[in-house]
Amino acid sequence: MLDVGSVQLSFRGVRALGGVSLVLHEGEVLGIIGPNGSGKSTLFNVVTGIYTPDGGTVRFRGQAITGLDPRAVVGRGIARTYQNKRLFPSLSVLENVLVPALRRERGGLLGDMLGLPLARAGWRAARARAAECLEFVGLAAMAAVGAGSLAYGQQNRLELARALALEPKLLLLDEPAAGLTQDERTEMRGLIERIHARGVSIALVEHDMRVVMGLCSRIVVLDHGEVIAVGAPAEIARDPAVIAAYLGAPEDG
Amino acid sequence: MMHRLAMLAGALMLLAGTASAQDIRLGTVIPLSGGGASYGASIQQGLDMALREINAAGGINGRKITLDVADDASDPAQSVIALQRLVNDNDDLVIGGWGSSQVLANMAVAERAGMPYIVVGASNPRITTSANKWTFRTLTNDNGHAARLAEVVSLLHFKKIAIIYDTNDYGVGLRDIFTAGLAKQGIKAVDVESYQTSDKDFTAQLTHIAAAEPDAVMLFGTLPAIAAIMNQARDQGIDARFLGAAGLSNEAVMKLAPQAAQHAIATAYFHVDTDATAKEWAARYQQAFAQANQAPRPSQAAPAYEALKLMAAPCLAQVGTDKDKLRLCLKAWHGTLFGLPPAEAHFDDTNQLLAPLVVEEVVGTEFKLLPGANQ
Amino acid sequence: MRAGLAVGIASVIALCILGLFASDYLLEIATLVLIESIAVVGLGFLTGFAGRISLAQGALYGVGAYAAALLVTRTGLPPLVGLPVAIVAASVIGTALGTPAIRLSGLYFVMSTIGIQQILWILLMHWSSLTGGPQGVRGIPALSVGGLVLDTPARFYVAALIGAVASYLLARRVIASRFGLFLRAVSDDELASATAGVAVLRAKATALALSGGWAGAAGFLHAYYLRYVHPDMFTLDLSVVFLTMAMFGGYRSLEGMLLATVILGGASEYLRPFGQFRLVAYGGLLVLSMMFFPRGLLAVLPIRWRR
Amino acid sequence: MLAQLLVGGLGTGCIYALVGLGFTLVYRTMRMVNFAQGQVFMAGTFLGLFGAQQFGLPALPLLLLVAVISFAVGMLLERVVFRRLYASHEVFVVGAIGLGVMIENGFRIVYPEPLPFPKIFGAGVYHLHGAVFQKTYLWILIVTLVLVAALHVMFAYTRTGRALRAVASDGEIAATMGVNVQRAIGATFGLSFAIAAVAGVLIGPLYFVSPDLGDMVGLKAFSAAVLGGINSVVGTILGGLALGLMEALAAFYISTDYKDLLAFAILVLMLLVRPQGLLGRVVPVKV
């Protein structure tokens, strides 16, 4: 499904990605772990078109998407969340999800202004989908609340709902469990499983080993912009190179 | 609630002025802010002086005159609103209007409202056309100035003439008419340069002019630009004679370009030495406004004073404040103005006052009549 | 929404009553304020919703005025044909000049709009063959709509009122549309909008086109209100006035902008007897409002405008 | 003839450079553009006029006096006004414009009419193979060079200079290293006011002193700063000189009508092609 071929990227001499290659199969939950600054978020930014890599290619379902702008990447069916939650604070919770939900609906500015039936139908469909996504992540009650005033846990789930509204085939999650309380993490794990159950392939960047071990069928380990290990969760846990990179037992993750 | 309404009503009344019913209400639309502020202040001084003299002598048939001032901030859009306010205050007539762009915008209000409007501060020919019914103009228009200057050029045998003009209505109007006047004499300007009203640096234009080595340079613009041009020209070694129209005949020139303006020639609407009345009036005017915020400028205040004292007042006395009768009286007015070569002045069919101009020269710190040019 | 609607209707009725009883002088001021409100609402798409400020609205207003003036004086076409031409002209020029710059950061965009404003003003002033240059364009006939000639202040006031109400209602529909939603999202976070599927550049360009179109419509009315246009009416100062009204009106609030236009438009007239002090007060109002309530007027008032 | 244009162009170029420096200093420190800079320049001219007429101060002490007073005013205004405008670009820009309107019209009340400026830098002219120019031009060139050198020395070798540079690169880090950031920002505004005011005094003898003196010069200096690179001191100075010369030549060889068009066309083009200017560094935008 997703095939990253030796992607290289550096910022004014600092090498962020030094030839990263990895593959994500249809329907899989691929874990991506590594110490801070190992290039995890940078990799996501390359895949979603925010950065254009210096070298290497990114292919999605057989088609090259290297260098496409973020909106085109979304068009292909790849959605993402951010490490630092990037919501639309001045919009309501519902509106935050309506933005992606309206994307594929027919009838643009003119349609809305003239109140054409086509456009109104588009709005109804978008609202329904947005409500369904909010329901899915358990934020339906907060629909009219301003996104700026949400608690941290709720922000995570709103970003998730926003990504789901794009009906993606591949979902890139950037530390969804970061900053959550213990039971919020278990809830988040359940949520990710339910998303996966709906047939969405997932790439998961996460520090919490319990979440990673529980969810991922395969794990890629990044360090200093290079892949140092790939394999099943059990193998990775015992792999000496991984332990060295982390300098510490996985438990304290 | 009622209390607040009453207060609001009171405030509005205050705005409408405290004139008592039977006074004659004279309105004036002039720039008291923006670029034309100094010209507006002089016009107001001229009107104030005439007004005080008339009221002191018992007013007009016993009715005092009050002045209703509207500041248009030298801006065409605001001058429409300003004149509309005077119409709204139902003034009996309006004397004022400075700046061709402003007058061209606001005169439509006077024509529409049927308000007698005597323009004393704009000289673009397009202001007076056959369509004028209520708008009169006492200043000789640019055609008159340009023609008079063309005569002076031939009188003083200037052969190589350069022109530098402001690209506003005033400058372009003068340039076209003067160039036509020269053509009649078979002379072609050696160089023609243009500038922006707010320009400060004229090196490029003056370098062109210097190359043409003219013996006369026509300055078609207003202060402070033309004073800056004279200074910078002398700095650059151009020693040609400067000539200009009403924009140059302003006492502020001596302050802004004391050396450079020496012997500069200008056409004007007023000069002290033409007759005794002018000399006596100028002395009274200087004395009356010696301490005023704006230094007295006889050449700028005379037209306003004469419009009120010599034209409007006699008509008001004769026909009262009926607007249509006032218009007809003004249309039929004729008489002589002081400060100009003696000649019978009257309005033509476009409500333009036909009156002679005086030609003067800067000598030391004052204007002197140019010898041989004011027969 | 109840409160908003009630206030809206009440104010329109009040404006109609004003039209019937007010003196010509008050009508002239009200007409100018109504016309300016259209240009300010247009600018509001950029300042209030796209998070961008522009100092070129005055020049685009001028483009609209000149389009209307030149069309009616140079061709035999009826005046009303000038309205769509003015809207399209200002909108196209605004978009063409603005779109390359709107990609830049907020600060660079402001800088380029100053350049655009000055360039357009210089062209109005010096392209004499087209615009009549420093002579301006005179002799614009009164606006006639289907036989009814709007030549008295009262009649023209009605036209301006209809224009201003239509401009406000249309603007509300634009903000309520999906485009309005995308615009607000882009203003909050451009990158997140892109990864949420919003065509960021297209949304910004559309905001530019709309603000230009509104400026063109307002310019059209200005041309027929004064029946004389001159380049010096459309200088950077006018753009500063429009920006002030839009910023003073506040963030994300069309109503705030209308209120600000009335207050500041009225103030510049009401303070007239104070001559020069008027402009000092105007500048002071601007500085103090940005210092103490940068989110604009209505952000201060206690009532929550639920959108 | 060419010499005449070059001298004129160089003179205005120096003025654009000095006023442009005011934009650069504030921008480097606060990433904000103080659009009241043109009016500060004009206020400097009036301050110089007042000093020269009331106290008959000769050139050098007058320049120093104007510099000191404007520095103090700059720091005061930063504390009272500008400090509350850092909420966003928009708020700062509009607030600065408001301040400019206040300054300009405040002076218009006191000085409604243009006034001649005494020839404190020497009356009379110099001749330089064909070109004739006022003695003032020489002063403009010298003072500009002195100011630029002084700035360079200050930034490179003095403690306050290093503090200002630290704040310019990153306020938070500078604060952690014990730099009094607020005072450094105040000093930056003070410096930009002082330089612009000195430029105002220098231009006095060439033009009349009037409240609208600063409008066009402010916008042109701004374009020069963008041309050279608004976050680079050297860039702004070269940008100013380049713009001054280009304008003088364009006015002569092309047309005086479109002289101003050149400055604004450059501004718009530079912003599209190289927003950071010829010599400016690209400021990386953190994603």
Instruction: Kindly tell me if the per-residue pLDDT of B8 is higher than 50.
Output: no
Residue D8 backbone phi and psi in degrees, to 5: -60, -45
Residues from chain C that touch B71, judged by Cβ atoms under 8 A, are 272-273, 275
Q: Bigger pLDDT: C99 or B19?
A: C99
B341: left (phi over 0), alpha (psi -120 to 50) or beta: beta
| Single-letter residue type at A41 | S
Please state the rounded mean pLDDT for residues A110-115.
82
- Write the residue in D84, D102, D226 that is nearest to C111 by C-beta: D226
pLDDT at D283: 55
The structural domains of chain D, ordered by start, are: 2-273 (1.10.3470)
Q: Does position B235 have pLDDT exceeding 80, yes or no?
A: yes
- In C, minimum Cα distance to A49 occurs at C195
Dig out the tokens for D29 from the structure: 């420190």
Other Cβ atoms within 10 Å of A103 Cβ, number: 20
Q: What b/e string do you get for C26-64 counting C-beta neighbours within 10 Å, with b at 16 or more?
A: bbbbbbbbbbbbbbbbbbbbbbbbbbbbbbbbbbbbbbb
Given pLDDT bands bounded at 50, 70 and 90, which one contains residue D254?
confident
| Domains delineated in chain B | 24-140+277-356 (3.40.50.2300), 143-268 (3.40.50.2300)
Instruction: Give Cβ neighbours of residue D159 (< 8 Å, ≥ 6 apart).
Output: none
The fold of the A2-87+168-252 domain, in CATH, is Rossmann fold (3.40.50)
What are D133-179's pLDDT values in tens digits?
A: 788 888 888 999 999 898 888 888 888 788 887 877 777 777 777 77
The span from the CA of D244 to the CA of D250, in Å, is 10
d(Cα A44, Cα A110) in Å, to the nearest integer?
Answer: 35
Average of pLDDT values for B183-202? 89
DSSP-based helix, strand, coil % in chain A, nearest 5: 45, 25, 35
Best mean pLDDT range from C59-63, C109-113, C121-125, D11-15: C59-63
CA torsion through residues D179, D184, D185, D188, sign: negative
Q: What is the pLDDT of residues A68-87, one digit of tens each?
A: 888 888 888 899 888 888 88
Does residue C93 register a pLDDT over 60?
yes
- Supply the mean pLDDT for chain A: 84
Check pLDDT > 90 for residue B304: yes
Residue B305 C-beta-side C-alpha neighbours within 13 Å: 26
The verdict on a CB contact (< 8 Å) between A87 and C189 is: yes
Q: Give residue B10's pLDDT.
A: 37
Q: Where in chain A is the domain with CATH 3.40.50.300?
A: 2-87+168-252
Map B37-74 to HEC letters.
Answer: HHHHHHHHHHHHHHHHHHHHCCCECCECEEEEEEECCC
Instruction: Map tokens 């550049």 to a residue.
Output: C201
CA distances from A106 to A102, C181, C184 (A): 8, 15, 20
Q: Give the phi and the psi of residue A169 in degrees, each rounded to 5.
A: -95, -30
* Three-state DSSP class for residue D118: coil
Question: Which percentage of chain C shows pLDDT scores above 90?
Answer: 32
> C48 to chain A, minimum CA–CA distance in Å?
12
pLDDT of residue A221: 86
Put simply, the answer to whether A50 touches D284 (Cβ < 8 Å) is: no
Q: What is the dihedral of CA A241, A246, A247, A252, to 10 degrees?
A: -130
* Minimal CA separation from D163 to chain B, in Å: 39
Residue pLDDT, tens place only, D177-199: 777 888 888 999 999 999 999 99
Q: Is the pLDDT of residue B12 over 70?
A: no
pLDDT band at B17 (very low <50, low <70, confident <90, very high): very low
* Least-confidence region, from A170-174, B191-195, C246-250: C246-250
Helix axes C24-44, C57-74, angle to 10 degrees: 120
Separation of alpha carbons B310 and A139, rounded Å: 85
User: For B114-162, what is each residue's pLDDT tens digit?
Assistant: 999 999 999 888 899 988 999 999 999 988 999 899 999 989 999 999 9
Nearest CA in chain B to C279: B33
Residues of chain D with C-beta less than 8 angstroms from the C-beta of A83: none
Per-residue pLDDT at B7 exceeds 50: no
pLDDT value at residue A249 = 44
Any idea of the CA torsion for A100, A102, A106, A107, to the nearest 10 degrees? -120
Using the predicted structure, report yes or no on whether residue C276 has a pLDDT greater than 50: yes
Q: What are the pLDDT digits (tens) for D203-214? A: 988 888 988 888
Question: Subunits touching A (CB < 8 Å, at least 3 pairs)?
Answer: C, D
Q: Starting at the earlier edge strand, list the strands of the sheet with B241-244.
A: B191-195, B161-166, B216-220, B241-244, B265-268, B358-363, B366-369
> What is the overall mean pLDDT for chain B?
88
**pLDDT tens-digit series, residues D50-86:** 998 888 888 889 999 999 999 999 999 999 999 888 8
pLDDT given at position C264:
85
Per the CB < 8 A criterion, the answer to whether A173 and A205 are in contact is yes
Residue pLDDT, tens place only, A51-66: 888 888 888 888 888 8
Q: What is the pLDDT of residue D282?
A: 65
Chain C's closest residue to A148, CA to CA, is C188
C:252-291 residues touching chain A, CB 8 A cutoff: 252
D238 or A209, higher pLDDT: D238
% pLDDT > 90, chain D? 26
